[in-house]
């Protein structure tokens, strides 16, 4: 069941393995919003971006948790992508792709889930459930700050979180969802039936040799979606965000995904 979102923002503007299927309840006790702002992605995520786009830090409130988030790209960009990381690195794993998207007119919100960087959570916070609600809170933040199109993209466990978010999007704040190697069963989430409540455009990619999630599992998930015909790439190489690069350069899949985020028609 979707948990009501408390949204607030202060602007100074690999992989995953299957886990328990238990679904603990998100905390109902609101934590204190941090009074400081961590360094923005352009300062914290130095990994090869030649010309850094404008970036800032904000706090996203959801489920009584304060999610450390980064905002990348100019305010004038009205297409916004909410990016969720995989388990081996926080949101800095998305920094280069966020810079890549900014060159194509896409602004990004990078989220750090519970246990990563400065995000403030109680110790027993359900990782996927609260992460999904943070995605929806970030999407709502984007809508109230001028976004006309909002897409969410996740890698590995982040893929699980964004699929869960899309399946619980009662307010219709998301226009599309993209999942790179998201496991079907991870931590507090099982997304086997999530597709039955997804009605937006969707994009799935996986390496046929991936040991975390199989192509057939993502096909089954995609087959339940009642929105536009899902885009399926079952021939990738790598896991999660590694699907988007070859020899440390963004590959054609990265470009097609960028087109999908922008709303351009995409094909398998």
DSSP E strands, 175-247: 176-180, 185-186, 189-190, 201-205, 231-233, 245-246
**pLDDT attached to residue 26:** 43
Residue 25 domain-assigned?
A: no
Which pLDDT belongs to residue 258?
A: 98
Q: What is the largest CA-CA distance in the chain?
A: 46
* 203-216 residue pLDDT tens: 999 999 999 999 99
Which residue range is the domain that position 145 belongs to? 41-262
- pLDDT, tens digit (0-9, with 9 covering 90-100), for 121-170: 887 889 999 999 999 999 999 999 999 999 999 999 999 999 999 999 99
Comparison of pLDDT for 175 and 46, the residue scoring more: 175
Q: Give the model's pLDDT for residue 64.
A: 87
Q: What does 120-158 look like in DSSP terms, one character per residue?
A: B--TT--HHHHHHHHHHHHHHHHHHTT-SEEEEEEETHH
List all residues 6 or more positions away from 261 whose beta carbon is below 8 Å from its beta carbon: 79, 81, 101, 106, 151, 153, 176, 178
Residue 48, in any domain of the structure: yes
Tokens 């979606």 belong to: 225
Query: Cα(90)–Cα(68) distance, rounded to whole angstroms?
Result: 10
Mean pLDDT over 22-37 rounds to 64
- By mean pLDDT, which of 8-17, 158-167, 215-224 is the weakest? 8-17
Q: What is the pLDDT of residues 78-109, one digit of tens each?
A: 999 999 999 999 999 999 999 999 999 999 99
Is residue 175 domain-resident? yes
2 in a structural domain:
no
In a domain, 72, yes or no: yes
Confidence of residue 28 (pLDDT cuts 50, 70, 90): very low
pLDDT number for residue 31:
77
Residue 15 lies in a domain: no
- Whether the per-residue pLDDT at 253 is higher than 80: the answer is yes
- CA–CA gap between residue 165 and residue 154 (Å, rounded): 11
Inform me whether the pLDDT recorded for 9 exceeds 70.
no
- pLDDT for residue 268: 63
What is residue 11's predicted lDDT score, i.e. its pLDDT?
Answer: 33
Query: What's the whole-model pTM score?
Result: 0.88
Q: What is the pLDDT of residue 124?
A: 80
Q: Kindly report the CATH number assigned to the domain that includes residue 233.
A: 3.40.50.1820
Count how many domains the chain has: 1
């Amino acid at each position: 069941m979707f948990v009501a979102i408390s949204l607030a923002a202060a602007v100074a503007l690999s992989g995953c393995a299957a886990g328990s299927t238990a679904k603990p309840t998100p905390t109902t006790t609101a934590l204190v919003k941090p009074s400081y702002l961590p360094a923005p992605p352009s300062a914290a995520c130095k990994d090869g971006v030649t010309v850094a786009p404008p970036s800032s830090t904000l706090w996203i409130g959801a489920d009584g948790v304060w999610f450390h988030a980064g905002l990348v790209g100019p305010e004038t960009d009205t297409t916004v992508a909410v990016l969720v990381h995989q388990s081996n690195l926080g949101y800095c794993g998305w920094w280069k792709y966020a810079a890549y998207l900014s060159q194509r007119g896409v602004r990004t919100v990078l989220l750090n889930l519970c246990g990563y960087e400065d995000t403030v959570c109680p110790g027993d916070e359900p990782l996927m459930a609260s992460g999904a609600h943070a995605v929806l809170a970030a999407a709502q933040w984007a809508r109230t700050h001028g976004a006309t199109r909002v897409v969410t993209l996740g890698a590995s466990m982040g893929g699980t979180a964004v699929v869960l978010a899309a399946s619980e999007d009662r307010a219709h704040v998301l226009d599309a969802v993209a999942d790179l190697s998201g496991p079907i069963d991870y931590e507090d989430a099982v997304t086997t039936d999530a597709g039955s409540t997804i009605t937006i455009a969707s994009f799935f990619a996986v390496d046929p040799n991936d040991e975390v999630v199989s192509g057939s599992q993502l096909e089954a998930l995609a087959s339940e979606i009642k929105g536009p015909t899902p885009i399926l790439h079952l021939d990738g190489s790598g896991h999660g965000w590694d699907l988007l690069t070859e020899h440390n350069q963004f590959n054609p899949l990265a470009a097609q995904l960028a087109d999908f985020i922008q709303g351009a028609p995409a094909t398998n």
